[in-house]
C-alpha cells in the first residue's frame, strides 16, 4: 500500500492539490486577522463609550492597529495567489 | 416610496445589471502578477508601472506648482487644499514625535504619504489596465491564456461576449527530458525545450481549430514529443492557425496595458520601504550617536541582552519585508478584485468596490507613513526615555499618549 500508487486512484492531481493549498492558505490565514480586527474595534468602541471627546485619537490609533492586523491577512492572500497562479 | 422616480431608478438598475450580465460581458481577466514590459530602452525594459510612477511624479509637480504660484497669507483654491492636507498631517506628526523630531521627520514622512496616496488613487482612473498594446501569443512567446482581438480602423479591441482561450499544455509528455532521468538522454535540455514548444504549439492549434474554426492541419503531424522534426511540425501548424486568425483581421494575443497601478509591481513598495528604513536608521544614528545606536542591537553586557539585541536586529530587517508586502498585497488584491468584479457583473457591482479601493488606497498610504514615523521615533529614543512615566509635562510626549484634539494636562 504505497501512497504514490494510491494518489492517482483518488484523482489527486498536481493542480488539484495546488488549488487546495491556495484555498487553505487564505482560509486559515484570514481567520486570525479577522479575530484581531474584531477585538481591536471592540476595544475602541469601549474606549469611545468611556471618553467620547477622545474620538480623533482613538480613531487614528484604531485605524493604525487594524492596518497592522490586516497586513497579516494580506500576506496570506499573496501566498495563496502565488501558490495558485505562479507556481 | 412608490414615486415614479424611485421606480424608474430601480428599473434602470435592474436593466443595467441584467443587460450587462447577458450582453456586455468580456473575457475572464488574465491576471499577471509580474509587471509587463512595454518596450526596451537599450538594456532596460520599460515597465508599465514605471510609466505610471512617472505620471504620478508629473501630477505631484503640477499640483505643487499650482499651489505655490501666487502665495497669499490667506490661502485660496489649490493652495488652500494643499495647506489643509499638509497641516493635518503635520499635526499628527508633531503629536506623535514631539516638536523637534516631528519637524525633522515631517518632510520624508509627508513625501512617502503623498507619493503612495496619489499613486494608489491614480490607479482608479478608467483607462488603467484597459488600454494598451497587443502582444501576440505564439508557441515561442507563450501565455497560458489569450484572447482573440478584433480589429477595426487599425485599433485592436476585445469584443463583448467573448471568452478567453485557455491552452492546456500537456507537459507530462515531456517528462522524459526533465528531472533525474534526463541525464541518460543526450541533449536532454534542448530536447526538453523543443518538446515544450511543440506541446504549446499543439495546444494553441487545437484550441484555435475548436474555437475559431481555423484549419491548422496539426493532426497530420506524426512523431514522438522530443523528436525535433515532430516538434517543428507542431509549431509550424500552430503558426499557420495563428496566421489564419490574423487573415480575418483578428489577432491572438494578450493585452499589455500602458498604465498599471504603481504599487502592484513589488519593486515599488520594496524601494520605498528600503528608503524609509534607511532614513529610520539615519535618524537613530544622528539622534543617539553611532555607538549608542549600535549598542541597541549588539549588546554584549549579558547573554540575554545579546539575544534580545539580535532579535531586534532581525525585527528591523523584517520591517522592510512587512512594509513591502502590506502595500503590495493590498494594491494587488484590490486590482484583482476590481477586475474580477467587473468581469462578473459589468456595471453597478463594481461601484462599492471602487469605494473600498479608494478607502484602502488612502489608508495604506497613511499607514506606511505613520509606521515610518513611529519607527523613527522609536529609533531616535534611547532606553532611558522609556522608564520615565510620570505626569506628562507639556511638550514631553510618549508614543502611547497622543493628545490630538485633547488639551494635555497642564
So where are chain A's domains? 31-87
Q: What is the pLDDT of residues B236-273, one digit of tens each?
A: 888 888 888 888 888 888 889 999 999 999 999 999 99
Substitution target in B330, B364, B374 with the highest count of A β-carbons within 10 Å is: B330
Q: Given this model, what pLDDT does residue B196 score?
A: 82
Non-local (6+) Cβ contacts of B362 within 8 A are B117, B120, B121
Block residue for cell numbers 502590506? B326
Q: What is the pLDDT of residues B332-366, one digit of tens each?
A: 989 999 998 888 888 888 899 999 999 999 999 99
Q: Coil, helix or strand for B149?
A: strand
**E strands, B213-280, in order:** 251-257
Nearest-CA distance from A26 to chain B in Å?
12
| Separation CA B275–CA B3 (nearest Å) | 58
Residue B130 DSSP symbol = T
SS (H, E, C) B305-345: HHHHHHHHHHHHHHHHHHHHHHHHHHHHHHHHHHHHHHHHC
Q: Given this model, what pLDDT does residue A49 score?
A: 95
A63, A68, A77 ranked by CB distance to B329: nearest: A77
Nearest-CA distance from B265 to chain A in Å?
13
Nearest Cα to B149, choosing from B162, B168, B166, B131? Answer: B162
Q: Given this model, what pLDDT does residue B409 score?
A: 56
Q: Given this model, what pLDDT does residue B353 score?
A: 93
In terms of CA atoms, which chain B residue is nearest residue A14? B172
Q: Given this model, what pLDDT does residue A10 score?
A: 76
Mean pLDDT on A52-62: 86
Q: Given this model, what pLDDT does residue B388 score?
A: 43
Q: Given this model, what pLDDT does residue A26 score?
A: 93
Question: What ipTM was assigned to the predicted interfaces of this complex?
Answer: 0.70
Report chain B's mean pLDDT, rounded to a whole number: 84
Cα B239 to chain centroid, rounded: 34
Query: Which of the listed CATH numbers 3.40.50.720, 1.20.20.10, 3.30.1240.10, 2.60.300.12 matches domain A31-87?
Result: 1.20.20.10
Substitution target in A56, A59, A69, A73 with the highest count of B β-carbons within 10 Å is: A56
Mean pLDDT on B179-189: 65
Mean pLDDT on B128-156: 84
Long-range contacts for B335-342 (Cβ within 8 Å, ≥24 apart)? B335/B123, B335/B129, B335/B260, B335/B261, B335/B264, B336/A81, B336/B29, B336/B31, B339/B29, B339/B31, B339/B129, B340/B29, B342/B29
Block residue for cell numbers 488639551? B407
**E strands, B50-204, in order:** 132-136, 145-152, 155-157, 165-166
State the cell numbers at B148. Answer: 482573440
Contact residues on chain B for A68, CB-CB shorter than 8 A: 367
Q: Given this model, what pLDDT does residue B392 score?
A: 43
Mean pLDDT on B285-310: 87
Nearest-CA distance from A55 to chain B in Å?
8
Amino acid at each position: 500500500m504505497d501512497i504514490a500508487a494510491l494518489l492517482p486512484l483518488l484523482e489527486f492531481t498536481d493542480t488539484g492539490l495546488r488549488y487546495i493549498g491556495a484555498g487553505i492558505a487564505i482560509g486559515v490565514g484570514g481567520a486570525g486577522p479577522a479575530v484581531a480586527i474584531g477585538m481591536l474595534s471592540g476595544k475602541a468602541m469601549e474606549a469611545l463609550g468611556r471618553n467620547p471627546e477622545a474620538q480623533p485619537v482613538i480613531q487614528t490609533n484604531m485605524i493604525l492597529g487594524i492596518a497592522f492586523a490586516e497586513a497579516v491577512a494580506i500576506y496570506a492572500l499573496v501566498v495563496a495567489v502565488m501558490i495558485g497562479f505562479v507556481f | 416610496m412608490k414615486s415614479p422616480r424611485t421606480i424608474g431608478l430601480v428599473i434602470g438598475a435592474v436593466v443595467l445589471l441584467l443587460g450587462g450580465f447577458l450582453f456586455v460581458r468580456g473575457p475572464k481577466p488574465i491576471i499577471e502578477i509580474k509587471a509587463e514590459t512595454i518596450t526596451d530602452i537599450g538594456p532596460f525594459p520599460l515597465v508599465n508601472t514605471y510609466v505610471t510612477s512617472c505620471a504620478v511624479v508629473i501630477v505631484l509637480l503640477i499640483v505643487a506648482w499650482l499651489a505655490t504660484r501666487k502665495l497669499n497669507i490667506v490661502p485660496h483654491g489649490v493652495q488652500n487644499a494643499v495647506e489643509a492636507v499638509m497641516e493635518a498631517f503635520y499635526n499628527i506628526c508633531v503629536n506623535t514625535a514631539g516638536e523637534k523630531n516631528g519637524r525633522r521627520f515631517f518632510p520624508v514622512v509627508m513625501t512617502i504619504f503623498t507619493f503612495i496616496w496619489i499613486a494608489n488613487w491614480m490607479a482608479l482612473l478608467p483607462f488603467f489596465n484597459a488600454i494598451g498594446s497587443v502582444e501576440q501569443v505564439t508557441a515561442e512567446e507563450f501565455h497560458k491564456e489569450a484572447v482573440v482581438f478584433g480589429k477595426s480602423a487599425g485599433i485592436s479591441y476585445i469584443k463583448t461576449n467573448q471568452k478567453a482561450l485557455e491552452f492546456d499544455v500537456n507537459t507530462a509528455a515531456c517528462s522524459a527530458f526533465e528531472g533525474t532521468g534526463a541525464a541518460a538522454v543526450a541533449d536532454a535540455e534542448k530536447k526538453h525545450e523543443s518538446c515544450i514548444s511543440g506541446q504549446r504549439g499543439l495546444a494553441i492549434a487545437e484550441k484555435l481549430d475548436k474555437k475559431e474554426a481555423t484549419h491548422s492541419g496539426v493532426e497530420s503531424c506524426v512523431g514522438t514529443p522530443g523528436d525535433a522534426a515532430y516538434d517543428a511540425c507542431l509549431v509550424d501548424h500552430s503558426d499557420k492557425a495563428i496566421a489564419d486568425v490574423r487573415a480575418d483581421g483578428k489577432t491572438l494575443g494578450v493585452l499589455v496595458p500602458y498604465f498599471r497601478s504603481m504599487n502592484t509591481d513589488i519593486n515599488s513598495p520594496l524601494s520605498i520601504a528600503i528608503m524609509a528604513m534607511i532614513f529610520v536608521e539615519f535618524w537613530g544614528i544622528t539622534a543617539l550617536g553611532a555607538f549608542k545606536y549600535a549598542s541597541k542591537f549588539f549588546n554584549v553586557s549579558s547573554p540575554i541582552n545579546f539575544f534580545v539585541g539580535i532579535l531586534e536586529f532581525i525585527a528591523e530587517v523584517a520591517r522592510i519585508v512587512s512594509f513591502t508586502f502590506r502595500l503590495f498585497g493590498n494594491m494587488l488584491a484590490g486590482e484583482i478584485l476590481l477586475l474580477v468584479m467587473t468581469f462578473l457583473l459589468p456595471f453597478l457591482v463594481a461601484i462599492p468596490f471602487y469605494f473600498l479601493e479608494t478607502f484602502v488606497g488612502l489608508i495604506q498610504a497613511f499607514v506606511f507613513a505613520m509606521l515610518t514615523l513611529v519607527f523613527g521615533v522609536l529609533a531616535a529614543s534611547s532606553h532611558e526615555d522609556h522608564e520615565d512615566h510620570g505626569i506628562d509635562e507639556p511638550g514631553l510626549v510618549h508614543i502611547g499618549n497622543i493628545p490630538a484634539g485633547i488639551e494635555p494636562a497642564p
